[in-house]
Each structure stands twice: as C-alpha cells, then as structure tokens.
C-alpha cells in the first residue's frame, strides 16, 4: 500500500506527542474512544473488523504492563494482527540499531509501529525513516501521548467537559513524559494546569498561558478538580537535593488526610505503576474519587481510537 494513500485516508499520520495538538483533534479522538468503549470494550463479545487484515508491531525497549497490553488488546479487539517485539531478546542485543530494527519490521509489510524507548525523540526519528504510522508509546522524558489521551478521556467522561477544569500534577515532573503529555492535552482543552514538585523537579523552561508551578502542594489542593499523582522513580533517588522517601510522603504524598481536603467531587488519577505508601496511600487508591482503574480500562478504548484513525480502518 503506497504511504501517500495511507496518509490521505488517515485523520492523523503519526502520534508522537500532544504538544501543538488542537481541541478539535482531541475531541474527535475522545468521541471515537467513547464509541469504542460503549460498542466494543463494554460488550461481552469484543470483536470488530475495523482493522481486519491490518497488522502492527509493539516495539518496546522498556518494561510496560499497561501500555503494551492495552495496545495489544486494542488491536485485537479491532481485528488486527499484533506482534510484540522487546528490545531484550531482539537483534539489538547483537548490535543492530533501532533504526535497522524498525526498517526490518516495516519490510514485513506491517501497517504501523508502536515504539517505547528510554531515549527522548526516538519515535520522531524513526518516523522520518519509515513510511508507516509511528505511535509513541513513551519516549524518555519527552511524551507519552496515549497516556495523556486516556487521562483526558477519563476526566472528560466523569465531568463531560474539561473547560476551566483545574488539573494539579504532583511528582517528579522534570523526568515525567506523562506530565508533559497531560499538560499539553489539558491546556488544549481549556483546562488550567498546576505543576507541583520539589524545586529540583520543576521544569522551569516551560512557560504557557494557563500553566502554573509551585512546590507547595497544600496551597493548591483545595482548588484542584483533578489530581494526577506521578510515580516517584527509584532510579532518580540518587539525584542531589532529592527529598528522602519520608520527606516526599510528608510534603507531596497524597495521604488519606490530604485526600480529605480535596473538593467533594475532585478526581484522583495515577498513571501507574504506583509506589503505595509513598506518593499515594492504598486507602486513597480505593476511594470513590480515585479513577485509577478507569484510566487503565479507558486505555484500551483510547488506543483503539488512535489505531483506527492511524491505520485507516472503517468506522464499523
Ligand atoms: N502508565 C504506563 O505507561 O504504564 P506502563 O509502563 O505499565 O505501560
């Protein structure tokens, strides 16, 4: 299939990040994801032929439970063939470059590639070499666009609108690709975003209308409509100036006591995996306000919508 034809048929060509996306694009994706959830994921027989005859590869160079599994399920629910390739065990271990690995996968006539890589920018570099759509499954500290989309979907589903919604993201913002995708997506939908972190983890280079930053979580909690809690990454614990686990929990942890100070209808999100008892308490995860399991469920429908739009399947 010539790539030009494919690109003409698709609403989007690649999904590398949410920076620069507009509200109409996001709304069309959210609407389509809602249909996928209602008509396919929510049914006992989860089958569609929208991507029958199409194939894509999940190429993951980092561990994943939620993203890889939900892309695989999303593809299968739409009738596509899905193959998983992990860096470990692939010919990258024999010295093959990531680019040659991707070119080889493309040569097998697949219709799309989902890539997760520890280095920021790898999906963008690969799409410059490839004729097939590339979906960023999370790259370094850059973006995790389908996580951003499923977070948007989860809040949109609960509140019906994101306009003037106040999202507070708390955690290691500096090293978080989820925070970046969330902030671009929520700002594009008319929300306000406050980033909260120890000073060493605030990304001071980002300046946007509607975006604020602080290290004082307790000052902003009462005004939050949504709190997105980020994982404290063990691999960052050796950073100079980083708080101890105990200090982090005391100043930035979403404890039961802090959760009680949120608005009655505030929502609590976490992209996973969680460090229970550090950035979030188990009791908070179990509260009605917690939408953590909705996020995971919605990841399938959102990724179905992304795959359908990128791989040009029917709306069936
Ligand atoms: N939220 C997220 O990206 O989870 P995984 O690392 O398990 O895919």
Considering the domain architecture, whether residues 122 and 204 belong to the same structural domain is answered as: no
204-245 pLDDT tens trace: 889 888 899 999 999 999 999 999 999 998 766 567 778 889
pLDDT at position 241? 75
Instruction: Give 272's pLDDT tier (boundaries 50, 70, 90).
Output: very high
Residues in the chain: 316
Residue 4, pLDDT score: 34
The CA-atom distances, in angstroms, between 124 and each of 5, 99, 279 are 21, 11, 31
User: What percent of the chain is predicted at pLDDT more than 90?
Assistant: 87
Ligand 1 mean position to 67 CA, how many Å? 5
- What the block records as the tokens of 213 is 């930053």
Neighbours of 5 (CB within 10 A): 10
Same domain, 115 and 176: no
303 pLDDT above the threshold of 60: yes
Structural domain boundaries, residue 125: 23-143+297-310
* Band of residue 316 on the pLDDT scale cut at 50, 70, 90: low
Is residue 20 over pLDDT 90? yes
* 230 and 108 both lie in a single domain: no
Cis check: omega of the bond before 222, within 30 degrees of 0? no
Per-residue pLDDT band for 8 (boundaries 50, 70, 90) equals very low
What is the CA(72)–ligand 1 centre distance, in A? Answer: 13
Residue 203 Cβ contacting ligand 1 at under 6 Å: no
Give per-residue burial for 32-66: e unless 16+ CB within 10 Å, then b.
Answer: bbbebbeebbeeeebebebbeebbbbbbbbbebeb
Nearest CA, atom 5, ligand 1 = 64
Establish whether residue 243 lines the binding site of ligand 1, counting it when its CB lies within 6 angstroms of any ligand atom.
no
Q: Which of 54-58, 263-267, 308-312 has the lowest mean pLDDT?
A: 308-312
Q: Is 67 in the pocket of ligand 1 (CB under 6 A)?
A: yes
Distance from the alpha carbon of residue 316 to the mean position of ligand 1, in angstroms: 29
Q: What is the CATH number of the domain that holds 168?
A: 3.40.50.1370
Query: What ligand 1 atom has the least distance to the C-alpha of 63?
Result: 6
175 with 227: CB under 8 angstroms?
A: no
Q: For residue 11, is it within any domain?
A: no
pLDDT-above-70 percentage for the chain = 94
Judge if the beta carbon of residue 147 lies within 6 A of ligand 1. Answer: yes
274 Cβ below 6 A of ligand 1: no
The predicted structure's pLDDT at residue 174: 93
- 16 domain-assigned: no
Domain count, the chain: 2
Residue 11 has pLDDT above 50, yes or no: no
Q: What gap in Å lies between CA 29 and CA 35, rounded to an integer? A: 10
15 occurs within a structural domain: no
Phi, then psi, of 267 in degrees rounded to 5: -110, 145
CA–centroid distance, 2 to ligand 1, in Å, is: 33
pLDDT at 6: 36
Measured in Å, residue 168 CA sits from the centre of ligand 1 at 20
Rounded Cα distance between 114 and 66, Å, is 13
* pLDDT score of 7 more than 50: no
Ligand 1 pocket, 138 CB below 6 A?
yes
Mutate to test the pocket of ligand 1, among 62, 64, 178, 294 (most ligand atoms within 8 A of CB): 64
Short-list 256, 220, 304, 221, CA closest to 50: 304
**Whether residue 149 sits in one domain with residue 93:** no
The token duo for 309 is 């739009």
User: Do 290 and 173 fall into the same domain?
Assistant: yes
Q: What's this model's pTM, rounded to 2 decimal places? A: 0.94
- For residue 117, the model assigns a pLDDT of 98
Question: Is the domain of 291 the same as that of 152?
Answer: yes
| Same-domain check for residues 108 and 196 | no
Phi, psi torsion values for 20, nearest 5 degrees: 90, -5
Tell whether the model's pLDDT for residue 15 goes beyond 90: yes
Dist. CA 265 → ligand 1 center (Å): 26
Q: How far is it between the farthest Cα atoms of the chain?
A: 58
Nearest CA to ligand 1 atom 1: 271
Q: Are residues 113 and 188 in the same domain?
A: no
In the prediction, which pLDDT does 235 show? Answer: 67
CA-closest residue to ligand 1 atom 4: 66
Mean pLDDT of 169-193: 97
pLDDT at 238: 61
Same domain, 135 and 210: no
């Amino acid at each position: 299939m010539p790539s030009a034809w494919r690109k003409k048929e698709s609403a989007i060509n690649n999904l590398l990040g949410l920076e620069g996306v507009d509200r109409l694009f996001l709304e069309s994706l959210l609407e389509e994801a809602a249909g996928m959830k209602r008509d396919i994921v929510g049914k006992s027989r989860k089958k569609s032929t929208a991507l029958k005859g199409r194939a894509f590869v999940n190429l993951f160079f980092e561990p994943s439970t939620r993203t890889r599994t939900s892309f695989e399920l999303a593809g299968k629910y739409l009738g596509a063939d899905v193959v998983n390739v992990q860096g470990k065990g692939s010919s990258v271990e024999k010295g093959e470059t990531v680019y040659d690995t991707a070119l080889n996968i493309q040569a097998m006539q697949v219709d799309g590639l989902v890539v997760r890589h520890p280095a920021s920018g790898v999906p963008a570099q690969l799409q410059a070499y490839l004729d097939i759509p590339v979906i960023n499954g999370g790259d370094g500290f850059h973006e995790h666009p389908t996580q951003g989309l499923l977070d948007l979907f989860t809040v949109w589903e609960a509140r019906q609108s994101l306009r003037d919604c106040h999202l507070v993201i708390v955690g290691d913002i500096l090293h978080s690709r989820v925070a970046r995708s969330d902030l671009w997506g929520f700002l594009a939908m008319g929300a306000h975003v406050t980033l909260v972190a120890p000073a060493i983890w605030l990304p001071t280079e980002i300046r946007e209308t509607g975006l604020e930053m602080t290290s004082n979580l307790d000052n902003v909690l009462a005004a939050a409509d949504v709190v997105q809690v980020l994982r404290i990454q063990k691999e960052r614990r050796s950073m100079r100036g980083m708080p101890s686990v105990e200090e982090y929990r005391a100043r930035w942890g979403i404890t039961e006591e802090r959760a009680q100070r949120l608005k009655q209808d505030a929502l609590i999100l976490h992209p996973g995996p969680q460090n229970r008892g550090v950035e979030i308490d188990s009791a908070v995860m179990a509260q009605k306000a917690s939408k953590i399991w909705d996020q995971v469920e919605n990841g399938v429908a959102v990724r179905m919508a992304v795959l359908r739009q990128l791989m040009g399947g029917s709306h069936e």
